[in-house]
Structure 1
Amino acid sequence: MHIQPIQNEYEKEIVDLILNIQQKEFNVPITIEDQPDLLEIENFYFKPGGTFLGAFIDGKLVGTIALVKFNSEAGAIRKMFVKKEFRGKEFAIAQHLLEQLIAYSEENGIKNLYLGTVSILQAALRFYEKNNFVTISKEKLPVDFPLMKPDNVFCHLQLNSK
């Protein structure tokens, strides 16, 4: 497995991976029109100081994770998706993606990571809890946190300051 920052040269693969998981696997009523960030990765993620990482096996995109830096010390995790056949401890793709995103965050002065997800994604919630994220109420989110319409569960991780 190889993880690297990716931008819109992988747009088709990114959109296919994410929409298939959202729509077909989990029946989340979301479209590409609801996620314009996927068509503007450089402007939406990289320019403000975030990143968008892709995990590749044999040259094929099998997982993604992204960071939206929304203020000088905080970021929002977005677009954490791994193809069904590559999930689990055997591959540990989600774990490697998260670890790289945390390392990037620490290197870039981010002290707090937040994320929003939907309650039906129980495996994702367990994964975040195992990685020391704490579930918080929507009211405890920073005022500048970039909310996504379908999200109804929110998590926070305080990073070690270096």
Structure 2
Amino acid sequence: MQIQPIQNEYEKEIVDLILNIQQKEFNVPVTLEDQPDLLDIENFYFKPGGIFLGAFINDKLVGTIALVKFNPEAGAIRKMFVKKEYRGKEFNIAQQLLEQLINYSEENGIKNLYLGTVTILQAALRFYEKNNFITIPKEALPSDFPLMKPDNVFCQLTLKPTK
């Protein structure tokens, strides 16, 4: 498996992977129109100081994770998705994606990571808890946190920046 930063050249693969998981697997009522960031990865993620990572097996995109840097010391985790057949400890893709994103965040002066998700994604919530994220009320989010409409559970992780 290989993890690397990806941009708009992988747009079709990214959209296919994410929408299939959101809509078909978990019935989350979200469309591509609700996620314009997927069609402008460079400007939405990279330009403000974030990153969009893809996990590849045999040159096929099997997982994603992204960081929106929404202020100098805080970032939001977005687009954490792994194809069903590549989930779990055997491949460890989600863990490796998260670790690379955390390393990138620490190296770039981010002190806090936040994320929003939906209650139906219980495995995702357990995964974040296992990685020391704490659940916080929506009111505890920074005022500039980029909210996504379907999200109803929020988590936070304090980092130790390396700079």
Does TM-score exceed 0.5, indicating one fold? yes
Say whether residues 1:49 and 2:49 are aligned partners: yes
Find the counterpart in structure 2 of residue 135 from structure 1. Answer: 135
Letter in 1 for 2:123: A
Identity, % of aligned positions? 86
Deviations along 1:29-64, whole A, 9 cap, x unmatched?
110000000000000000000000000000000000
Give distance in 1, aligned partners of 2:107 and 2:98: 14
Give distance in 1, aligned partners of 2:49 and 2:78: 14
Contact 2:108–2:161, Cα closer than 8 Å, also in 1: no
Q: State the 1:114 CA deviation.
A: 0.1
Find the counterpart in structure 1 of residue 124 from structure 2. Answer: 124
Give distance in 2, aligned partners of 1:137 and 1:29: 22
The normalised TM-score by structure 1 is 1.00
Aligned length: 162
Q: State the 1:161 CA deviation.
A: 2.9
Give distance in 2, aligned partners of 1:32 and 1:87: 23
Give distance in 1, aligned partners of 2:146 and 2:45: 12
Find the counterpart in structure 2 of residue 100 from structure 1. Answer: 100
Contact 2:112–2:158, Cα closer than 8 Å, also in 1: yes
Deviations along 1:63-112, whole A, 9 cap, x unmatched?
00000000000000000000000000000000000000000000000000
Contact 2:107–2:161, Cα closer than 8 Å, also in 1: no
Find the counterpart in structure 1 of residue 4 from structure 2. Answer: 4
Structure 2 portions without partners, runs of 5+:
none
